[in-house]
Each structure stands twice: as structure tokens, then as C-alpha cells.
Amino acid sequence: MADTTASSATGLANPLGDELRTTRSVKPCVVVIFGATGDLTKRKLVPSLMGLAKDGLLPPGFAVVGFARRNWTDESFRTELADGVRQFGRPDTPAHFDALADAFTFHQSDFGDRAGYESLKAKLEQIDRQRGTAGNRIFYLATPPSSYSAILQNLAATGLSKETGDHFARVIVEKPFGRDIHTAVALNDQVRAAFHERQVFRIDHYLGKETVQNILALRFANGIFEPLWNEKFVDHVQITVAESIGVGSRGGYFEESGIIRDMIQNHLMQVLTLVAMEPPAAITADAVRDEKVKVLHAIRSFKPEEIDEATVRAQYTRASFGGEDVKGYRDEEGVPKDSVTETYAAVRLEINNWRWAHTPFFLRAGKRLPRRVTEVAITFKQPPHLLFEGGKPLQPNVLLLRIQPDEGVALRFGAKVPGPDVRIRDVRMDFRYGTAFGGETADAYERLLLDSMLGDGTLFARADEVEEAWRIVDSIVNGWKQSKRRPDEHAAGTWGPERADALLGPGRSWRKP
């Protein structure tokens, strides 16, 4: 079947009507979801696919096969998915699910059972004939990581991972991608035994967020920022991912990972690389990822004796927050009373290259902070000579990239207060996505699913990026293990422990968004 006309606009619109746009076409394909009875499929994957259907971005030849152990039927699978789309999908998407329900089928098998993959193969061939999916397959690993190995081996053994002629076979791998560098390397080896790197799409959903993609647009589609984007003008950068929720029912999982593995190794490191990278030669998957990984190469691993000075970790404690009496981390379900797992971490990273030498990057992430906010704050140096207000320094200029919520970009600068005296006050220039573009914003998974169908790996983590990020994070985890210092504490609903302020050094303070 020929390519469809479905397309995706990767361009940047502006309210004046000038638009830079690239249009790409999606080939027909089948998406096989391993672990299809789980939460991710119901909450994210299928609602996102229906978001694509609503926007006319799915190819006409399209089908989904849910592969899982449970004894479900096509009918019970569809009922569950319809419910998911109603609860979690964008407005009007349930109607798209109803229209496409026949495209969803269920395949029951154990992940380790070879016969289940042989019958999957036969089923996929039948779907190709019936629905025009043209032999193109995407395998989505939405299972716990412990099942990845069996799935990958069976996909390779049955030839399902092979690309033949024009037909593509791709694999999407969910996080966590390992729990340290050794497990990540082992997993990359397993993936590579079945698929070529160009067939592999490692999901970090932060890369699918419009505002994260806008970091590249802001930097490289404009002439005014890039000349200032270096150690000569930037004093420091703060990257914050704060959440007001606690660990909830995920205490058992969180206890094993901590905020460093759950958020910093992946989401914050990815954002950091986009902020700090050099301009790529082109916006292609390898050109972009080559530059991102160079940033990680330029960050050296910590020595254990450096860790108490370069990082702060803490746990939230019981407090009244948002009108509620909330539990401390150690009272959460699945968390031992003597836990030393961090729910908050702040890290000072130095990027040892020409652009960033002497400009520290501060990363912080935490649960039970006062509000949910993700932002990047580029803080500029003060002017060399202060003319106003008897030389009293104003707040430095800050370029703020608001990733979520209240998506936008703001610039803080000093302005003259109207009147006969010369008084300067900080003001803000503010761009808001909602006001400028209106409309609904697609979920990050929509963009990532679409890109995997298009075969565009730009917004996915490459094996070397994942491994480099683990190298840095492992050195932190190792330092914490050897340190005599226990995690600090901070009351739930506050911006972390006091010691985090000292991390920034004199004259700097954490933003309290």
C-alpha cells in the first residue's frame, strides 16, 4: 500500500502567520503492545493513539495487537480500552475509538512461550492482508523490565525483529532503562542482539513534551539567544522538576529507585543536554543525539569524597500540606522505617567544555514540594558596572523556560519605574503557549508514538546517552552509599532542605516558583 497523506507538522507557528513547517508521511503499520493489560496501555498508549486519529495522523492501514498473559478476549480488551479513552483521552476521542475498535485485537500468550510468537506472526500476516498494514510492525515493550529479555529473544528467534525489503520492524522500550550502568549495558546488548540501533526507540516522555522540544526551537530558530548562551554571559542554570504528589502506592518501586533514578537519570539529564548542547549540523536523529551525548561526555563522574559538597538529598516528612495531614516518606506504604532513599535531590554539575566551563548547572527534583512545576531558569551575569540605585544590585536577568504547567517563556529584566526619579524595578516579558497558540496540546506520548511510526528517533534516547547518564548518576549513588551523612529532611510542602541553598554558592538562591 502506498504511503498515506497523514502528516505531522514539526514546524514552529507564530501568531503573525509565518510558519516554518515540515510535513512527513506515516506508513501503514501494526503496533504490538506487550503487557497490553497494564495501566500504561489504558491510560496513555491507546488514548494517545486516538489523539492521533482525531488529528488525522494515523495511516488508514493501522492495527493494534495487545499481547499479554491474561485470558482476555478481543471484546474484553476493546471494552477496557474504550473505558481508558473515555477517562484519559482528549475530548471527542472516544468516537474515534468506536470507529476503529475493529483494529484492536488481543493475543494471549506467556512472554517466554515461543509458540505464542509463532502464532503472533501468523496473526500479523493475516492483519496485513485484511487491514493493509503492509508488513510494518512496531513492538512496544510496556511490561516490567524483567520480561524484556524473553520478549526480545523471541522476537529475534521468530524473525519478527527482522526488516525485510521495505518493511520496517521497530521496538519501543519503556523506562526504567536499567538501574545502573551495568544493567543498562546488559539491556542494550540484549536489545542489539535482536534489533539494530536505528530500529530502537527508548522512550523518555519528557522529550515528547512540546515545551521540551521548544528548547531547540528557542535556541536554534532565533538569532538573539545563542550569542549569550555560554559561560561569558550565563552565571548558572537551574533545572527544576518539582511534584506536589508523594510516592502514593508506588512506595515499593520508589524505595528501590529514589528520585535520582526515577527522574534525574532520565528526564532532567535529557533536558540538561538540550539546554547545553552545541548546535547540531541538522535536526536529524543522529546529529542531535551526537551533540547531546557530547554534553554528557563533558561531565565527569564524581569522586566519593566530593559528593557531600556537590549534592544534597532529602526525604519529605509528615506535615500539613494543602489542607491535609500528609505522611512522611518513611510512613508511606512499602517504605521501611529506616529508609535512606531520597525523595528530593539537588546536584551541581559542571560541564567541562569551552561553552560552559565556570557555569554550573543545578538540577533538583523532588516529591511533595509545594507545587508541580518543571522549569529551566537561565540566570545571566550582572552588568559589569551598576549605574542605578546607588549601585545596589537588582535581581539578575533570568530567561525562564516554563516546561509545565503554564507553559511558556519569560524574561525578567529591570525597567524604570515611571516618575521623576530614576528607580529600577524587575519586570517580566511573558510568552504563554495557551494564549499564543490556543487549542489543545497533544500528550507527549502522541508525539512519540507518531515519531516511532515515522522512524524518527530524534526524540528518543540513544544507547550511548542512556549509558553516559548512568555513569554520572552511578557516581552520585556510589558517593551517597559511602557517605556518612544521612539524607536531610524537609517538611512535605516545602522547597527542600536548607542545605540545598548552600549548594548554589554565594549570591545565588533557588527559585521558588
Binding site for ligand BG6 (CB under 6 A): 205, 243, 262, 374
DSSP-assigned beta bridge partners for residue 346: 312, 364
Distance of alpha carbon 20 from the chain centroid: 25
Q: CB of residue 268 vs ligand BG6: minimum separation in angstroms?
A: 11
Determine the angle formed by the axes of helices 93-100 and 46-54, rounding to 10 degrees: 100
Q: CB of residue 40 vs ligand BG6: minimum separation in angstroms?
A: 11
Cα angle, residue 506 at apex, residues 485 and 228 outer, rounded to 5°: 115
DSSP state string for 417-440: PSSSS--EEEEEEEEEHHHHH-SP
Question: What's the N-to-C CA distance of the chain in angstroms?
Answer: 51
For residue 370, report the phi and psi dihedrals to the nearest 5 degrees: -60, -35
Hey, is 94 helix, strand or coil? Answer: helix
Hey, is 335 helix, strand or coil? Answer: coil
Q: Give kind and range of the element (H or E) at residue 47.
A: helix 46-54
Q: What is the DSSP letter of 343?
A: S
Q: CB of residue 262 vs ligand BG6: minimum separation in angstroms?
A: 5
Q: CB of residue 374 vs ligand BG6: minimum separation in angstroms?
A: 6
Active site residue 96: no
CA distance 28 to 30: 7
Closer Cβ to ligand BG6, 69 or 175, answer by number: 175
- Residue ranges of alpha helices (H) inside 358-425 are none
Closer Cβ to ligand BG6, 375 or 468, answer by number: 375
Closer Cβ to ligand BG6, 123 or 175, answer by number: 175
Closer Cβ to ligand BG6, 219 or 250, answer by number: 250
Closer Cβ to ligand BG6, 205 or 402, answer by number: 205
The answer to whether 141 touches 173, Cβ cutoff 8 Å, is: yes
Q: 405 is written with which cell numbers?
A: 504547567
Closer Cβ to ligand BG6, 128 or 243, answer by number: 243
Amino acid identity for residue 378 in this structure: I
Closer Cβ to ligand BG6, 174 or 474, answer by number: 174
30, 87, 94, 442 from 53: Cα distances, Å:
14, 17, 10, 12
Closer Cβ to ligand BG6, 235 or 465, answer by number: 465
Q: CB of residue 182 vs ligand BG6: minimum separation in angstroms?
A: 21
DSSP-assigned beta bridge partners for residue 365: 241, 345
Distance of alpha carbon 195 from the chain centroid: 23
Residues in contact with 129: Cβ distance below 8 Å, sequence separation at least 6, in sequence order: none
Q: CB of residue 65 vs ligand BG6: minimum separation in angstroms?
A: 26
Using CB positions, name the residue nearest to ligand BG6.
262
Q: Pairing mode, if any, of strands 311-317 and 361-366?
A: unpaired
Q: Which of 96, 107, 236, 267 is catalytic?
A: 267
Count of C-beta atoms within a 10 Å radius of residue 245? 11
Q: 509 is written with which cell numbers?
A: 538562591
Q: CB of residue 84 vs ligand BG6: minimum separation in angstroms?
A: 18
The residues assigned a catalytic role are 267
